[in-house]
């Protein structure tokens, strides 16, 4: 009996039996971004991952930008929403909102460059709406005025995206402590007549860890959301 030829292994994006779907395309793009960054995403490269031609993808996404909007939304849908466990007075909503912001940043950071897409995208898809709905509900629990809460949703999205971009840029540079030492030396040797406060605060300006900076920024953001004196 003749030996049957072995079937070539399927590529990572999609097994030979799986049909091409919008979700399989988005999943392939997410995998590509995680490995190579958002700049590596093109309809041709994604098509290779799902073993089809670029023309087939146009039936689902009319352009790279539209594909990236859906990829971003898929990332938003993966953000863990921290729940408030407080009382009628809203105790716990701040911690829940803070944790949700951190989870959003970390999710975007896991897909290098996706923060750039987030800054240029007006969120209208289900994953982003889910996230905004949760943030609004937490702020309602904290009795934040609706107009302030609406502004806060946009501010939180901008902060999360910007933080993710910063991490991507720093990871690409890979200068680590050498960069911090360079900046501190520049501050310490700055012209004392023109920049006395910079010189005096050189260690403080360059000392905090990334985690400490993030905690401070989120706390300041939430305090600003609460304060009725800020207009």
Domains of the chain: 22-77 (1.10.10.60), 93-226 (1.10.357.10)
Least confident piece of the model among 28-32, 41-45, 160-164, 168-172: 168-172
**pLDDT score at 59:** 92
Taking only the tens place, the pLDDT of each residue in 115-166 is 999 999 998 999 999 999 999 999 999 999 999 999 999 999 999 999 999 8
Which residue do the tokens 């590529």 mark? 11
Least confident piece of the model among 22-26, 175-179, 194-198: 175-179
Taking only the tens place, the pLDDT of each residue in 79-115 is 999 998 755 554 499 999 999 999 999 999 999 999 9
Residue 137: CB atoms within 10 A of its CB come to 17
**pLDDT score at 106:** 96
Question: What is the DSSP annotation of 94-134?
Answer: HHHHHHHHHHHHHHHHTSTTHHHHHHT----SHHHHHHHHH
**pLDDT score at 10:** 46
**pLDDT score at 2:** 45
Q: In the structure encoding, which two tokens stand for residue 193, read together? A: 């007549």
Q: In the structure encoding, which two tokens stand for residue 106, read together? A: 């970390």
71 vs 137: CA distance, rounded Å: 25
17 vs 45: CA distance, rounded Å: 20
Q: Give which of 131, 138, 14 is closest to 72, Cα–Cα.
A: 131
Q: How far is CA 6 from CA 9, 10, 58, 74, 189, in A?
A: 9, 12, 32, 36, 69
């Amino acid at each position: 009996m003749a030996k049957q030829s072995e079937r070539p292994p399927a590529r990572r994006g999609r097994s030979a039996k799986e049909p091409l779907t919008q979700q399989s395309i988005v999943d392939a793009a997410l995998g590509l971004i995680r490995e190579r960054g958002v700049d590596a995403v093109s309809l041709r490269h994604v098509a290779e991952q799902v073993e089809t031609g670029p023309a087939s993808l146009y039936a689902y996404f009319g352009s790279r930008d539209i594909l990236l909007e859906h990829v971003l939304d898929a990332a938003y849908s993966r953000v863990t929403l921290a729940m408030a466990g407080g009382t009628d007075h809203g105790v716990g909503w701040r911690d829940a909102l803070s944790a949700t912001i951190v989870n959003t940043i970390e999710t975007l950071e896991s897909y290098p460059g996706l923060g750039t897409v987030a800054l240029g995208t007006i969120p209208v898809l289900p994953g982003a709406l889910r996230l905004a709905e949760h943030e609004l509900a937490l702020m309602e629990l904290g009795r934040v005025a609706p107009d302030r809460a609406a502004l806060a949703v946009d501010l939180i999205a901008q902060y999360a995206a910007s933080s993710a971009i910063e991490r991507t840029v720093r990871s690409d540079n890979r200068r680590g402590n050498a960069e911090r030492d360079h900046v501190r030396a520049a501050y310490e040797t700055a012209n004392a007549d023109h920049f006395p406060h910079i010189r005096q605060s050189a260690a403080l300006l360059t000392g905090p860890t990334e985690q400490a900076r993030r905690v401070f920024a989120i706390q300041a953001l939430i305090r600003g959301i609460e304060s009725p004196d800020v207009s």
